[in-house]
Amino acid sequence: MSFGARLTTFLVMLAAAVALVVYVVITYLTPQSGVVDFTSAQPAGAPVNLSVQTVGSIGFGPHPTWVTYMVQNPGGQWLHDTTWEVPAHTRINLTIHQFDSGSPLRNQNWGRVQGVAGNVEILNGKPISFYDSNSGNGVGHTFAVPALGINVPLVGVNSNASNICSQAPCGSDSVSNTIKVSFVTPGPGEYSWQCFVPCGLGYLYGNGGPMSNSNYMGGFLDVVA
């Protein structure tokens, strides 16, 4: 091969390698969850209303059988995004529509409502401060922000109901529980939220799959100044 041919060969290989790297970074390494912005929908300092729902199986995407959270953006659309941007030092009124059935907790400590106003949640209109997951329909998920001490048990719906939602987003035609809590955001930072119910079906301890993926049973509360 001549000098020119060798140089060209090398440059072509280099370009291919760079393209491959870029492809891998874009396809596999960049975060998949979009950010839903709740900072500009209302005047500064005014409480933010945040509505989310939990669904037993998302029904679309790469893992249709996985359990997930959905969030309603200020425009009213339900999105499969788990990073929620909220203003700092602001009251958040969180409404969670629980469409999933429940089970006993791995640790009953997570049946306690913690870290929110009054340490109570309003479950279908009634205030409770803890829930016995061995009774009734059990707990489907908990909404927990460990760094803020928040833990909200989301009581499951009756697993024998005929209209359990299995396709996100779920609407009022499916059986659900509505849980409301309220808390005040701290200073800026990215606070992770997760679930303490072993809801990753088919995984050891129930904590794999959707529980181990920040686009399903976990995400970030992105608190910005």
Partner 1 sequence: MTISAEREREVAYPDPTPPSVGWFQGLPARPGWLSQHLGTAIIGAVLGYLLGHWLGNVVASGYTNVANSGVNAIANTGGIALGALGWLAGIGAINYPLAKIIGKEPAPEFETTSWSRYFRYTADHKVVGMQYVIGVLTFLFTAGLLAMAIRTELLSPSSHVFGPGTYISIVSEHGTMMMMMATSVVVGPLGNWLIPLMIGARRTAFPRVEAFSFWIFSAGYLTILTALPYGGFPTGWTGYAPLQTQAGGGMISYLAGFALIGLGMMAAGFNLGVTIINYRAPGMTWSRVPIFVWAILSTCALLTLATPTLVAAGLFGILDHTAQTAFFVTEHGGSSYLWQNLFWFFGHPEVYIMALPGFGIVAEILPVFTRKPLFAYKVAAAGMLGVALLSFFVWQHHLFQSGINPDMRPLFMLTTELISIPTGFIFLVGMGTLYKAKIRFEVPMLFALAVFFNFLIGGVTGVFLSDVPVNVTVHGSFFVLSHFHYTIMGGLIFAFFGGLYFWLPKMTGKTMNKKLGQIHFWFMFIFFNFTFFPMFLIGLLGQPRRVFEYAQNLQTLNDISSISAFILGASFLVFIANFVWSIFIKPTPSPANPWDSLGLEWQTANPVPYYNFERIPVVLNDPYHYSEHDAAAVADMGDPVLVGAVAPTGDGGGDTTGDDPVTPAE
Partner 2 sequence: MSDVAEQTDAPADGPRHAHREPRHFVRMVVIWLVACAIAMPLFYFLVGPHVPPGVMTSTAEENQFDFNILMVLAIPVLFGVWIYIGYSLITWRGSKAADPVGGELARGHMGVQTGWIGITTVFVLGLAIFGTYALITTNGAGGGEGPNPVWTPTSAHVLPVQVIGQQWKFTYRYPTFGGFESSDLVLPVDTTIAFHVTSLDVIHSFWAYQLSIKADANPQVDNVAFTTTNHTGSVTVRCSELCGLWHGAMFDYGRVVSKNQFEAWATATRIATAANTKLLPPFALTYTPDANGAAGGYYPDNVDPYSPSEVYGAKQPAS
Using the rule CB under 8 A, is 111 a contact of partner 2?
yes
Nearest distance from C-beta of residue 19 to partner 1, angstroms? 14
CA 122, CA 134: separation in Å to the nearest integer?
20
CB 163 within 8 A of CB 173: yes
Using the rule CB under 8 A, is 83 a contact of partner 2?
no
- Cα 123 to Cα 32, 47, 71, 111, 158: the distances in Å are 32, 20, 19, 13, 15
User: Cβ closer to partner 1: 22 or 46?
Assistant: 22
CB 71 within 8 A of CB 58: no
Interaction mask 58-87, partner 1, x per CB under 8 A: -----xxxx---------------------
Nearest distance from C-beta of residue 56 to partner 2, angstroms? 10
Among 71, 180, 207, 221, binds partner 1 (CB under 8 A): 207
User: Cβ closer to Cu ion: 116 or 144?
Assistant: 144
Pairing of strands 91-98, 189-193: unpaired
Using the rule CB under 8 A, is 225 a contact of partner 1?
no
Among 34, 186, 189, 206, binds partner 2 (CB under 8 A): 206
What residues form DSSP beta bridges with 114? 151
